[in-house]
């Protein structure tokens, strides 16, 4: 959902840098030769992979030859646009005979659904097997959010966390300097800054973000979490009509009606990015992956003027709503060991470094993020890297981990969007809540 655009040029630059680095740093060895798994053991196996279209898929397909050279495993992969990829995956997995061995999944949408369906193979055993797992790949290397996403409630590891998406604050340095405003550290400061930066006569606005139903939930939850909201109580009841949600929605409503461009209720990330990258809006809260297009002179008018910061703090805390994707193995696959080698390669240090350096995603592995050499290869501004690292410290899952995530996003999202045309936050949330609760009950009982 978040990172679908990435200019080829930046990707190439990043990858070339990564290639140069690894060639220089590690000689010709394809992976650190600490204690290598038996890469060649499954040579000749053929694997099918279903990927979601985007920078992760690109990075995978671009370098897959290295994996085949390393292992002798032949990989057939397919990139399908996200929505269709999710449909295809669900239908095929439900049929019990998926056409793929390895599947790229969006945790924030599919985690519970995949777990309930029992569609993913348990990787815990493979992780402990030195014949299969490189010694540098340990569970503790993944960030807490990543492990939370990858493990089910019995503690089994069902996928490898691949790439994380934090929400960060993008701001237009030039506009801030002109009005002599400091970068907001809290929501209060952010609203005040947005007010000062809004000048409808000149066509410039203080804030922009997703207003479109469903898409808006990923933004809204940043407010919700920082007002102290929790999605589910101990009994698994949904809590999105409580006082925290109402306060969060009030802020959302204020920012998007008073200080945002007209028509924002129809904006997804694309329209928001258009407004921000044309210098029409001063602040934008969205996923961390948009830096490459914002720094691309052919797509953006504000190259070099973009500031990056963490999501400002709310009255009850400071969190960055976190989303992410992983790579797992279909439980029905007959080539699980070979598939595990492939998943391992996809989240390897080298592939992760390439992804980060191109700005196409942020690996869940701390050993990659904390590696100075990797960091110095990042072509994007240092502030961006810093915002990523700081966000990792305050990351919190951005959507409730339930099966009907899509319904949740549609129903509560519609209520939140309705406040943009004058709906009362408390009343709208209550209506949405009453519609969603029976759906959640129905899905959890079965």
Which residue, 262 or 304, has its beta carbon nearer to another protein? 262
Q: Which stretch binds another protein (CB under 8 A): 29-37, 99-107, 207-215, 330-338?
A: 207-215
Q: Is 407 in the site for another protein (CB under 8 A)?
A: yes
Nearest distance from residue 268's CB to another protein, in Å? 9
Q: Which of 406, 166, 164 is nearest to 285 (CA)?
A: 166
Q: Please report where in the chains the tokens 């990989």 appear, as a residue.
A: 75
Q: Is 262 in the site for another protein (CB under 8 A)?
A: yes
Dihedrals φ, ψ of 106, to 5°?
Answer: -95, 115
User: Within positions 109 to 138, which residues make up the interface with another protein, using CB under 8 A?
Assistant: 113, 116-117, 119
Dihedrals φ, ψ of 235, to 5°?
Answer: -90, 0
Tally Cβ neighbours within 10 Å of residue 272.
27
Q: Is 315 in the site for another protein (CB under 8 A)?
A: no
CA torsion angle 80 85 88 91 (round to 10): 170
Nearest distance from residue 176's CB to another protein, in Å? 22
Dihedrals φ, ψ of 77, to 5°?
Answer: -125, 155
- Please identify which residue in 19, 25, 81, 263 interacts with another protein, judged by CB under 8 A: 263
Q: Which stretch binds another protein (CB under 8 A): 57-65, 129-137, 225-233, 403-411?
A: 403-411
Q: How far apart are CA 246 and CA 78, in angstroms?
A: 43
Which residue, 87 or 370, has its beta carbon nearer to another protein? 87
Dihedrals φ, ψ of 298, to 5°?
Answer: -80, -15
Partners of 232 in the β-ladder:
238
Nearest distance from residue 232's CB to another protein, in Å? 19
Q: Is 417 in the site for another protein (CB under 8 A)?
A: yes
Q: Is 435 in the site for another protein (CB under 8 A)?
A: yes
Q: Which two tokens stand for residue 101?
A: 């061995």
Beta strands in 346-394 (DSSP E): 362-363
Q: Which stretch binds another protein (CB under 8 A): 246-254, 358-366, 367-375, 416-424?
A: 416-424
H or E, element range at 410: helix 405-418
Residues at the contact surface with another protein, assessed by CB under 8 A? 87, 90-91, 93-94, 113, 116-117, 119, 203, 211-213, 261-266, 275, 280, 404, 406-407, 410-411, 414-415, 417-418, 420-421, 431, 435, 443, 446
């Amino acid at each position: 959902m978040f990172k679908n655009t990435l200019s080829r040029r930046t990707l190439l630059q990043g990858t070339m840098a990564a290639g140069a680095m690894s060639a220089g740093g590690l000689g010709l060895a394809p992976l650190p030769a600490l204690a290598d798994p038996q890469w060649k053991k499954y040579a000749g196996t053929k694997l099918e992979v279903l990927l979601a279209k985007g920078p992760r898929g690109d990075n995978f397909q671009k370098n897959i030859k290295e994996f085949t050279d390393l292992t002798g495993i032949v990989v057939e992969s397919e990139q399908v646009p996200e929505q269709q990829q999710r449909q295809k995956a669900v239908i095929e997995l439900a049929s019990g005979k998926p056409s793929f061995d390895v599947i790229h999944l969006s945790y924030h949408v599919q985690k519970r659904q995949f777990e309930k369906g029992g569609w993913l193979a348990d990787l815990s055993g493979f992780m402990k097997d030195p014949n299969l797992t490189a010694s540098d790949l340990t569970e503790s290397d993944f960030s807490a959010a990543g492990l939370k996403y990858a493990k089910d409630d019995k503690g089994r590891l069902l996928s490898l966390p691949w790439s994380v998406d934090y929400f960060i604050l993008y701001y237009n340095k030039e506009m801030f300097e002109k009005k002599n405003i400091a970068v907001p550290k809290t929501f209060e400061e952010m609203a005040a800054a947005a007010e000062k930066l809004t000048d409808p006569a000149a066509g410039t606005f203080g804030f922009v973000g997703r207003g479109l139903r469903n898409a808006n939930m990923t933004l809204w939850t940043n407010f919700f979490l920082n007002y102290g909201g929790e999605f589910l109580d101990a009994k698994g009841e949904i809590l999105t009509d409580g006082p925290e949600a109402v306060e969060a929605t009030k802020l959302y409503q204020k920012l998007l009606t008073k200080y945002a461009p007209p028509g924002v209720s129809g904006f997804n990330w694309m329209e928001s990015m258009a407004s921000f990258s044309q210098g029409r809006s001063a602040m934008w809260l969205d996923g961390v992956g948009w830096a490459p297009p914002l720094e691309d002179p052919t797509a953006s008018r504000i190259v070099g003027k973009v500031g990056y910061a963490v999501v400002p703090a709310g009255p009850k805390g400071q969190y960055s709503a976190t989303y992410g994707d992983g790579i797992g193995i279909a439980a029905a696959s007959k080539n699980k060991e070979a598939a595990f080698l492939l998943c391992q390669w996809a989240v390897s240090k080298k592939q992760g470094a390439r992804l980060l350096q191109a700005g196409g995603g942020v690996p869940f592995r701390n050993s990659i993020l904390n590696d100075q050499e990797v960091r110095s290869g990042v072509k994007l501004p240092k502030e961006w890297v810093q915002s990523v690292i700081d966000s990792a410290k305050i990351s919190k899952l951005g959507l409730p981990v339930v099966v009907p995530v899509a319904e949740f996003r549609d129903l509560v999202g519609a209520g939140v969007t309705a406040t943009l045309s004058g709906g009362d936050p408390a009343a709208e949330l209550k209506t949405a809540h009453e519609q969603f609760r029976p759906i959640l009950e129905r899905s959890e009982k079965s």
